[in-house]
Amino acid sequence: METLSLLLYGLQIALSWENLLYCFAGCLLGTLVGVLPGIGPVTTVAILLPFTFGLGPAPALIMLAGIYYGAQYGGSTTAILVNIPGESSSVVTTIDGYQMARQGRAGPALGIAAIGSFVAGSFAVFVVAYFSPPLAEIALRFGPADYFSLMVMGLAASVILASGSLIKAIAMVLVGILLGSIGTDVNTGAIRFAAGLPQLTDGIGFIVLAMAFFGITDVLVNLEKSKEQHVANAEIKNVLPTMEDLRVSAPSIARGTLIGSILGILPGGGALLASFAAYMVEKKVARRPANFGSGDIRGVAAPESANNAGAQVSFIPMLTLGLPSNPTMALMIGALMIQGITPGPGVITERPELFWGLIASMWIGNLMLLVLNLPLVGLWVKLLSVPYSLLFPAILAFCCVGVYASSNEPADVYIVAVLAAVGYALIKFDCEPAPMVLGFVLGPMMEENLRRAMMISFGDPSVFVTRPISALCLAATLLGLIAIAIPSLRRRRDAAMQE
């Protein structure tokens, strides 16, 4: 009953005209960037970070959250109609969704994707509401050594679940930690790794890094891709699935929702891992698995439910532990820090209006997205004809203006340009930036907790293995890295990532 009363309290916060407006703006922008290939929620959240300075914490986080889970809805539109996933978590939807579109059933495919996403998102809101407070209470008992080991485990999980080379993923985490340590040491006052540049004495700003690696770098990569898009069956007359479609899809939506709610918590996993797992489970339990890949509606319902549930459940570790489970959550932590709020278990107790207002707004946002996606499908189809050559100049302009406006330092624009060139080179060497950003966010917090733990223990490093929670986290980290180092398991991981 207490949780229900707190949800009602959050509903009062979320239903204020300001929060409703920003929730709608976030959902609309999220759907838009999900529909338009080449622009994802990470890029959009990075671009909008400087513009959240003038907002309160609740409106800022509500809008950014709407962009993230709204993109999961919009990504299915391009996956079904163009065979290009607007979001990485919609990759699996292209397999059966595009085949349905070619068969003239684009409407039911889009409809079941929206309905499945709404059901999964609504369920995930209650998962976040009921599981976050108990987890936060446990987290309040954590000491500095426990937090340090927990962050190490989170970084290790992001490495294990990252695509591509394991060595490259570890290297990117270490690069992120190194970048996060640039600037003045708050304990000694010494300037570290600044290369004698006064502009780096305060370190590299989170907004600068986000703009470089998720704004300009993405533009450079997308400009290399083909701009031709062929929309299948653009004339969509009916987006409502038949009763038979709903009967067949209902178990798939339920299984996808459950899988997404479980896997969404994993660092480095979230919506992408959940959508792949849901599709694989459907193929295993189906009586006629041969239908998958040729336009089976279950191949749309399951992954779309899973990715939306996973996207919203990924807020749990960010809100309760201050640990980002993916790059977008890392940007959310950056948004909280911009507002002067320390992410972690204290958010629930110290800022209940922010926590419960955000959760209630997620349910309202899912309702808005259902309205935005079903009746306005025709509008989203027309947007697919907008060439990327008309979009990227605006993205570059927003990046530059946002960086300059956040600090009024022209040097930050030059730093963004340098980091964007580095990011582009790293992508050319198949080094994905996601583990690096997680390392950049968690690195300073890891250092702070490491120092506190060593001070409390009077320099005795055994504190990390004598405290049960810390020892458990380090053991899980070690077991995970050993397991992924086994050749047979590594081959299976690489094969799954390649698929």
pLDDT digits (tens, 9 = 90+) for 220-248: 877 776 555 555 544 566 767 778 888 88
pLDDT of residue 92: 77
Q: Are 247 and 111 contacting, i.e. CB atoms less than 8 angstroms apart? A: no
Average the pLDDT over 461-478 and give the result: 87
The pTM of the whole model exceeds 0.75: no
CA distance 16 to 360: 12
More reliable by pLDDT, 163 or 69: 69
- pLDDT for 233 equals 46
Give the list of residues 6+ apart from residue 263 with CB closer than 8 angstroms, or none.
269, 270, 273, 274, 277, 306, 310
Q: What is the 3-state secondary structure (H, E, C) of 186-203?
A: CCCCCEECCCCCHHHCCC
Q: What is the pLDDT of residue 161?
A: 63
Q: Name the burial class of residue 390, with classes exposed (0-12), middle (13-18) and buried (19+) by CB atoms within 10 angstroms of its CB.
A: exposed
pLDDT for 350 equals: 79
User: How many whole angstroms separate alpha carbon 260 and alpha carbon 127?
Assistant: 11
Buried b (16+ CB within 10 A) or exposed e, 112-125: bbbbbbbbbbbbbb
For residue 378, what are the CA distances in angstroms to 126, 198, 240, 373? 32, 53, 14, 9
**What is the average pLDDT across 211-226?**
76
pLDDT attached to residue 494: 58
Predicted pLDDT at 497: 53
d(CA 451, CA 437): 22
Q: Report residue 204 CA to chain centroid gap.
A: 22
* Largest distance between two CA atoms of the chain: 71
pLDDT of 360 over the 80 cut: yes
Question: Is pLDDT of 319 > 60?
Answer: yes
301-310 as b/e, with b when 16 or more CB fall inside 10 Å?
bbbbbbbbbb
| Other Cβ atoms within 10 Å of 27 Cβ, number | 31
Statement: residue 11 has pLDDT above 70: yes
